[in-house]
Structure 1
């Protein structure tokens, strides 16, 4: 797995918002989005249950305010 913490830290230092597309990794990789300080994490449910068209967008709480 790439060093996501380093990449996210560099992106945030430039003022960028970080969005991780977890579509391929959600079923295979454990990722703590709180430790990584990800702004948004996106994935679809079909990795777990077939062809159901449901997606998930997890966002950092401070992005909502």
Structure 2
């Protein structure tokens, strides 16, 4: 949606309007990014480790 032509009579008003559009676009794009799981959560989640990793971890803990 474009504003009225009156806005573009002032260079500064047009610059602020364009900055608001860019700000909105960046804010919207960042809200769509999925956050990665914390690194320590993967170690506690058994489903993320394969059997060989679980066995070697078990062997290391029993020493």
Asked which structure has the greater CA Rg, the reply is 2
**Band the TM-score falls in, shorter-chain normalisation:** under 0.3
